[in-house]
Structure 1
Amino acid sequence: MKKLISLPESFISQYKGKNPDWGFDGLGYVVYLRTYSRKKPNGTMEQWWETCHRVTEGNFNIEANRLKEIGKWTDNRKEELVKEMKRFYHLFFNLVICPPGRGLWMTGTEFAERVGAAENNCWFVSMRPQPYGDSKIKPVLGLPNTPLPSFAAAFTFDNSMLGGGVGVNVQQKNVEQMPKVARKVNITFECITHHPDYNSELKPLGVVSNFEFMNFDSPILSIKDSREGWVRALSLVIDSHFIGSSSNIVIDLSRIRARGTEIKGFGGIASGPAPLVQMLQRVNEILNNRVGEKLTSVDWGDIIQNIGCCVVAGNVRRTALILIGDQEGKDFVESKNYNLEKNQIASQWRWASNNSVDVSEETDLETLRELAKNIYYNGEPGYTNINLSRNYGRIADGYQEGIDKEVEGFNPCGEITLPNASPCNLFEINIPKIHELISSGKEPRTLCEEVCKLAARFAYRVTFRPYEWEATRDVVYHHRRLGVGITGFTDWLLMKFESIDDPGIRYYLDSMYRWVQIYNLEQAYELEAEPSIKVTTVKPSGTLSLLMGVSAGIHHHWSKYMIRRIRVAANAPIVQMLKECGYDHEPVYQGVDQNGNPIYDSNTLVFSFPIAAPTAHLEGFKGSGEVPLQEQAANQALLANYWSDNAVSATLTFKQEEGKEEDKIEEIAQILDQYKGVIKSTSLLPHAVGTYPQMPLEEITKEQYEEMSAKIKKKPWEITGFNLVSEDDENLIDDCEGGACPIR
């Protein structure tokens, strides 16, 4: 892609060396540095103004190139687009609007221009035989245009290695299309003995020396040191159980880079070949155990979960997975109940996914009671309503038969309704910030419409990226689905309205929705492409909301005042900066010894950030543990009715009370029943109670907050002279806890 437009240096110079109003007393800046700032060619890290510069120009040049492609690129259009760029940059820099985390990390990079998937957070695929078609990744066995059993697993593995989350539909209607397992397969893994990981990690897994092992009768796959190479190895292992004639395969690992090596494309540190070996061994065992039979929904789920384990093992990459099964599939519903003996071994990998069951408007209360019982004791399953998603946009707009008829599932956080092989395409609007700027007179009342326009246009440009999977290209270029989201919802309610029943809420949400729609149609017409089939959502927004300093998505703050703790390697460059600022820190707690004395690991430090909710001073503030389950569900339903035509991601929490289990189970069932024709997806978890050392979030008093804040001598961005390197600590934001998505 050619760079046809850029922001003038005279404009950018106004922002150099400056910072926005970072969220939560500077925590937002620390999160930005550790998660989204990229290393520049000179070895230093981007500052915020540079990230905004890279992302803005990267996105707007997509439109410029499209206009040139269709013969509409003129000097006048260039001038208009540069003007829009300046306004977008300003609002982006000041955290009024923001691309998704993947957009912050990848937009404007050479990798994103080659791999369109790099800018998409999450994906969905159905577990049934499908052809690879004209995709970059080709199957090892079988023809590209022949439906193959490995497709969904390969698709999941590929996009997970790009750092995306994947939803997988393992309902019986899909997995019953898979053939029976035809044969048992024996795999031999071989590697050169001077590979850095051979003696320490590979030999203990049974990997043999390729000098000692010679088998000229078995096909040998030498795995290329790339994402594609790993995916092809998985496809070979799966498909060899169904097609072909060989019962023995040899996989050579010699070309795979060692653990700790830098990954050049997407970024990160390599895990070495050991996690791949472990995953392929388990997948092979699952298939071998079903010779002469079809794999069940649980079996295919186990394969997907082992993929997730492989991706996160020893690597800075993160992924999130959701499995969608049948409400009547008892084995699936109970698959994460580790009190059952049949599930105990599988607990080693089943943690890697969240599980949901698909319900409908016809699901009876008794079935929902059974689901509620599992939810109360296990925190799963969540639920999805695929039929509702196919026939409704916003619920308030009524039944529209087949408006989104190809939907088969959701992304892992449940905010986007998705057809097979399609991605999320997200964007974020900070509605408390809009309210603040308009109320203070710093921006006109038209700001709300303007940000809806800018958000819709940014996200739509992403749909013109090149995608490596043919199935993805087919659906993206036809549907061009967007997910323009709002965050800080509960802060906004408290700032602007007296109650959730205020008609002004519905008016604002409806107006914003229609602006997003209108500007999407306008842009689609200009770019001579299909308008988006759906355009709005509410995502979890855990990390971006920390940057902005607002409540995450639809969720409430944990409490008025709290400590958020993050773990950092003791030798990380950022440690010096945080110490100089004055943040409390201590070695990570690891438990107690046999005498009851605490054990600490000085190789990892835990830093404590005192933070205050921006609405803590307002009457009516409620921490997340104070909000009744019914009120949480009503908020989700409100947004499903008037804002989101995709879905609303929400983790509804409830309190477990001894002696009141049946009452709470009944309450959960009644709420699921009440909203089964409104809420397209949701999950429910017990509200975390109790205390333990170094909790990620801990409620404190105002006095404690002020005392801790007084010790902080400088803000993080005021510290200079540190050559920070990019990090991605898995403990920065807990996996999906409180509705926060782990995907960068």
Structure 2
Amino acid sequence: MEIIGCDFHCNLSEIHLNQIDPQDHKTQDDAFRAGALSVAVLLNHEFVEPRYRYSRQLDPIVGVSFTGLFDFFVHAFGAEWLHWWKEGRPDTPVGREFKRQEREYLSRWNRVVHETVWDYCDRHGLKRPNRCTTVQPSGTKSLLTGASPGWHPPKAQRFVRRITFRKYDPVAMACIDYGYNVVPSQSDKDENDNLLDDPFDDRCTEWLVELPVEVSWANLPGTDGIDVSKFSALAQFDFYMQVQRYWTTHNTSATIELTNEEVEPLGRRIYEAIRDDEGYISAALLARFEDLQTFPRLPFEPISKEVYEQLNREVVKRRKVEDFHQAMSLYDSGYSEESGPAGCDSDKCLFSDPKDVKESENY
């Protein structure tokens, strides 16, 4: 959990760092002040539920988060920072300098947030939250601006992003007119359990819109040949702990991807972080899965630069409408709660809840 507690509400905001120039400190400060104010002002809300009122009296909780940190630092430090990651973020003179600069950015943002929230609370007679910073899960929201999620590296420099929509969803229909490819979802199969290929097949119930994506720094000099999906678990943990130490005062949403060979060294490193009271709270551990052919139509599929460029040419060739908003207006005259991507693109969502299966067996 990123915000630990019970019987409470947490006011959250998120800064998209990939949209900010690393050299523009004023804009950074303004962005974090805005995020801090947007959570602080909600402390004026009065809950009807007594237990929520009591919880806020004891501990008002706010959380300012960010996403796109990895992208931000690539633009700040260049390809040399990526090569240091590739080497495992070793403790070298160059590495220590990179970590000092990472620390300065993170500490500065932390200070801006806490000063802003506390100043607002003091001026309005509100109890100060004793901690105000976190990194919340940010997979879907990061996609809105093309950011890598939270502090994590992206899945690849270039990849196909597949987003699940219901069949004939207005947004998906607009995507088709704009040139994006659409295929049936992983759950749509024929009588022989083979995946369907035609999205307009009567047996198809859901669509996957395929978007070729390139990270903002993919074409920076010196970044070619760096496979971000191969960064070691210890390097990921080291960067995560930088965020946990110098930015986060709640907890940092973290998923460390590791191979079999990395289980023991990562386990030792986590033990050391707990033993030495470094601030570690928790992180999810995920086995690194590299055989993409076993699971077709994954939500993220890494691709080469050549494939990315080819897919983009095909998108332009299929495009019927040059303006996406115009394409949307052809299928949706106004806001519809049913329009848009599915709430979850995970393959786990395709499995029935054991509770639901058990209940259905009783009828």
Conservation of the 8 A alpha-carbon contact between 2:43 and 2:126? no
Deviation at 1:606, TM superposition (A): 2.1
Indicate which of 305, 310, 315 corresponds to 1:702: 305
Distance change (3 Å), C-alpha of 1:552 and 1:576: same
1:224-254 deviations in Å (ceiling 9; x for gaps): xxxxxxxxxxxxxxxxxxxxxxxxxxxxxxx
Q: Give the SS at the match of 2:204.
A: strand
Once the two structures are superposed, the pairs formed by residues 531-550 of structure 1 within 5 Å of their partners are 531-550=128-147
Show the 5 A alignment for 1:568-579. Answer: 568-579=165-176
The equivalences for 1:437-456 within 5 A come to 439=23, 445-456=25-36
Flag the 1:495–1:722 CA change in 2: closer, same or farther, 3 A: same
Q: 1:568–1:496: structure 2 CA closer, same or farther, 3 Å change rule?
A: same
Q: CA, structure 1 residues 535+623, in 2 after alignment: closer, same or farther (shift >3 Å)? A: farther
Amino acid at match of 2:125: E
CA contact 1:543–1:733 (8 Å) conserved in 2: no
Larger relative helix fraction: 2
Q: Deviations over 1:250-289 (max 9, x none)?
A: xxxxxxxxxxxxxxxxxxxxxxxxxxxxxxxxxxxxxxxx
- Distance in 2 (CA, whole Å) between partners of 1:529 and 1:559 is 44
TM-score (norm. length: structure 2): 0.78
1:194-237 Cα deviation digits (max 9, x unpaired): xxxxxxxxxxxxxxxxxxxxxxxxxxxxxxxxxxxxxxxxxxxx
Aligned residue runs from structure 1 range 398-547, under 5 A: 414-416=1-3, 418-435=4-21, 439=23, 445-497=25-77, 498-499=80-81, 501=96, 502=98, 503-547=100-144
1:636 corresponds to 2:261: no
Cα distance 1:732–1:709, how it changes in 2: closer, same or farther (>3 A)?
Answer: farther
The 3-state SS of whatever aligns with 2:2 is coil
- Quote how far apart the aligned CAs of 1:688 are: 2.4
1:726 is the counterpart of 2:306: no
Q: Within 5 Å, which residues of 2 pair with 1:214-229?
A: none
Change (3 A) 1:638 1:706: same
Within 5 Å, give how 1:584-663 maps onto structure 2: 584-589=181-186, 590-591=188-189, 593-594=191-192, 598-599=195-196, 601-618=203-220, 619-620=222-223, 622-656=226-260, 663=261
CA distance in 2, matches of 1:562, 1:451: 29
Instruction: Tell which structure's C-alpha radius of gyration is larger.
Output: 1
Structure 2 stretches of 5 or more lacking a match? 82-94, 198-202, 350-363
For the residue of structure 2 that corresponds to 1:636, the secondary structure is helix
- Alignment partner for residue 325 of structure 2, among 708, 717, 740? 717
The percentage of counterpart residues that share the same residue type is 22
Evaluate the alpha carbon distance shift between residue 514 and residue 675 of structure 1 in structure 2; reply closer, same or farther with a 3 A threshold: same
AA in 2 matched with 1:526: R
Structure 1: runs of 5 or more not aligned: 1-413, 657-662, 738-744
Secondary structure at the counterpart of residue 607 of structure 1: strand
Shift of 1:468: 4.0
1:620 & 1:638 partners in 2: Cα distance? 23
Counterpart Cα distance in 2 of 1:430 and 1:585: 28
Q: Is the 8 A contact 1:460 1:480 kept in 2?
A: no
- Deviation digits for residues 480-509 of structure 1 (CA, Å, limit 9, x no counterpart): 222111211111121112446322221121
The 5 A counterparts of 1:285-296 are: none
Relative contact order (C-alpha < 8 Å, sep 6+): which is higher?
2
Deviation, structure 1 residue 651:
0.4
Aligned mates of 1:514, 1:700 — CA distance in 2: 39
Corresponding residue number in structure 2 for 1:566: 163
Superposition deviation, residue 591 in structure 1: 4.6
Counterpart CA distance in 1 for 2:63 and 2:140 is 17
Number of residue-to-residue matches in the alignment: 310
Name the structure 1 match of 2:271: 673
Q: CA deviation at 1:527?
A: 0.8
Q: Distance in 1 between matches of 2:242 and 2:72?
A: 14
Paired AA for residue 151 in structure 2? I
Q: Residue type of the partner of 2:266?
A: I
User: Given the superposition, is the C-alpha separation of residues 587 and 505 from structure 1 closer, same or farther in structure 2, using an over 3 Å criterion?
Assistant: closer
Matching of residues 155-554 of structure 1 within 5 Å = 414-416=1-3, 418-435=4-21, 439=23, 445-497=25-77, 498-499=80-81, 501=96, 502=98, 503-554=100-151
Distance 1:446 1:575, change over 3 A: closer
| TM-score normalised by length of structure 1 | 0.39
* Counterpart residue number, 1:167: none
Checking the alignment, whether the CA contact within 8 Å between 2:20 and 2:72 is kept in structure 1 is no
SS at structure 2 position matched to 1:448: helix
Q: Is the 2:166–2:342 contact (alpha carbons within 8 Å) kept by the matching residues of 1?
A: no
**Structure-2 change in CA distance of 1:731 and 1:447 (3 Å):** closer
SS in 2 for 1:564: strand
CA contact (8 A) 1:636 1:679 kept: no
Provide the secondary structure at the position in 1 that maps to 2:248. coil
SS of residue paired to 1:684: strand
CA contact (8 A) 1:535 1:646 kept: yes
Displacement of 1:544: 1.5
Q: 1:735 to 1:415 in 2, by over 3 A?
A: farther
CA distance in structure 2 between the aligned counterparts of 1:562 and 1:577, rounded to whole angstroms:
21
After TM superposition, give the deviation of residue 574 of structure 1 in Å.
Answer: 2.4
One-letter code aligned to 1:722: Y
Distance 1:631 1:620, change over 3 A: farther
What's the RMSD between the two structures over aligned residues? 2.5
Q: Return the offset for 1:703.
A: 1.4
Residue aligned with 1:538, SS: coil
Equivalent residue for 2:357? Answer: none
CA distance in 1, matches of 2:263, 2:152: 22
1:627 CA displacement: 1.0
